[in-house]
A and B are shown apart, each in its own frame.
Chain A
Amino acid sequence: MVEQALKLKQAETLPDAGGHFGVFGGRFVSETLMPALEELDEAWRFYLKDPDFLAELDRDLAHFVGRPSPLYLAENLTRQVGGARIVLKREDLNHTGAHKVNNTVGQGLLARAMGKRRVIAETGAGQHGVASATIAARLGMECVVYMGAEDVRRQSINVYRMKLLGAKVVAVESGSRTLKDALNEAMRDWVTNVDDTFYILGTVAGPHPYPAMVRDFNAVVGREARAQMLTEYGRLPDALVACVGGGSNAIGLFHPFIEDTDVAMYGVEAAGRGLSGLEHAASLCAGRVGVLHGSRTYLLDDDSGQIRHTHSVSAGLDYPGVGPEHAWLKDSGRARYVGISDAEAMKAFHALTRNEGIMPALESAHAIAYGLKLAAELPKDQIVLVNLSGRGDKDINTVAEVEGIEF
Chain B
Amino acid sequence: MNRIDRRFAELKRAGRVALVPYVTAGHPQPQSTVAVLHSAVGAGADLVELGMPFSDVMADGPVIQNAHERALAQGTGLQQVLDMVREFRRQDADTPVILMGYANPIERRGAARFAAEAAEAGVDGLLIVDCPADEADELKEQLQAQGIHQIFLVAPTTTERRLDHAARLAGGFVYYVSIKGVTGAASLDVDALAPMIEKVRGHIDLPVAVGFGIREPAQAAAVAAVADAVVIGSALVDRLDRCDSTEEAVAVTRDFLAPVRDAMDNSVPIQAEQTVRTT
Residues of B within 8 A of A187 (CB): 58-59
- Does any Cβ of A come within 8 Å of B144's Cβ? no
What mask results when residues 291 to 308 of chain A are scored 1 for a CB within 8 Å of chain B, else 0?
A: 111101001010111110
Q: How far is the CB of A169 from chain B (nearest CB, A)?
A: 18
B108 to A290, Cβ gap below 8 A? yes
Chain A 27-63 interface residues, beta-carbon cutoff 8 Å to B: 27-36, 38
B59 — which chain A residues lie within 8 A by C-beta?
A: 29-30, 32-33, 187-188, 191
| Nearest A residue (CB) for B128 | A28
The chain B residue sitting closest to A33, CB to CB, is B59
Q: Judge whether B159 and A35 touch: CB under 8 Å.
A: yes
Residues in B with CB closer than 8 Å to A28 are 103, 130-132, 135
Tell me the minimal C-beta distance from A321 to chain B in angstroms: 10
The answer on a CB contact under 8 Å between A30 and B132 is yes
User: A34 and B61 in contact (CB under 8 A), knowing A304-B79, A305-B108, A306-B77?
Assistant: no
A291 to B134 alpha-carbon distance, docked (Å): 14
Q: Select the stretch in B31-39, B149-157, B218-226, B240-248 that faces chain A.
A: B149-157
| Alpha-carbon separation in the docked complex, A26 to B157 (Å) | 20
B4 contacts partner chain A, Cβ-Cβ < 8 Å: no
B108 to chain A: which residues have CB within 8 Å?
A: 290, 301, 303-305
Given A27-B132, A290-B108, A305-B107, residue A175 in contact with residue B55 (CB < 8 A): yes
Cα A194 to Cα B181 with chains together (Å): 9
Which one, A29, A33, A175, contacts B56 given CB within 8 A? A175
Decide yes or no: A192 and B135 within 8 Å by CB, A30-B153, A31-B152, A292-B56 being known contacts.
no
How far, in angstroms, from A153 to B135 measured CA to CA in the complex? 38
Contact A18 B134 (CB under 8 A): yes
| Measured CA separation A38–B134 after assembly (Å) | 12
Total number of A-B contacts with CB less than 8 angstroms?
Answer: 127
Q: Are the C-beta atoms of A188 and B180 separated by less than 8 Å?
A: no
CA distance A314 to B185 in the complex (A): 34
- CB distance B131 to A192 under 8 Å? no
A35 and B158 contact, Cβ closer than 8 Å, known pairs A28-B131, A174-B65: yes
Min CB–CB distance A38 → chain B (angstroms): 8
Is the CB of B63 closer than 8 A to any CB of chain A?
Answer: no
Q: Decide if A294 touches B107 in the complex (CB within 8 Å).
A: no
Q: Tell me the bound Cα distance from A345 to B131 in angstroms.
A: 38
Q: Is B57 on the interface with A (CB-CB < 8 A)? A: yes
Would you give the 0/1 interface string for A76-116, flagging 1 where the beta carbon is closer than 8 Å to chain B? 00000000000000000000000000000000000000000
Query: Are A174's CB and B153's CB within 8 A?
Result: no
Contact with B along A273-298 (1 / 0, CB 8 A): 00000000000000001111110100
- Interface residue ranges of B97-111 to A (CB < 8 Å): 102-109
User: Is A304 a contact partner of B77 (Cβ separation < 8 A)?
Assistant: yes
A residues within 8 A CB of B79? 304
Q: How far is the CB of A39 from chain B (nearest CB, A)?
A: 9
Question: Does A184 sit within 8 A of B, measured CB to CB?
Answer: yes
Report the nearest B residue to A208, measured CB to CB. B134
Q: How far is the CB of A358 from chain B (nearest CB, A)?
A: 37
- Whether A305 pairs with B109 at a CB distance below 8 angstroms is yes
CB-defined contacts of B155 to chain A, threshold 8 Å: 31-32, 34-35
Please determine whether B104 and A30 come into contact, CB atoms closer than 8 angstroms. no
Q: How far is the CA of A299 from the CA of B62 in the complex (A)?
A: 24
11 additional A-B residue pairs with CB within 8 Å, beyond A30-B153, A290-B103, A305-B54: A26-B134, A28-B135, A31-B177, A34-B155, A174-B65, A181-B56, A187-B58, A188-B58, A195-B180, A291-B130, A306-B54
Can you identify 9 A-B contacts, CB atoms within 8 angstroms?
A28-B103, A31-B152, A31-B153, A32-B155, A35-B159, A194-B180, A304-B77, A305-B106, A306-B105
Residues of B near any A CB (own CB < 8 A): 53-59, 61-62, 65, 69, 72, 77-79, 102-109, 129-132, 134-135, 152-155, 157-159, 162, 166, 177, 180-182, 185
Closest 8 CB pairs of A and B: A305-B105, A305-B108, A304-B77, A192-B181, A30-B59, A291-B103, A35-B157, A31-B153
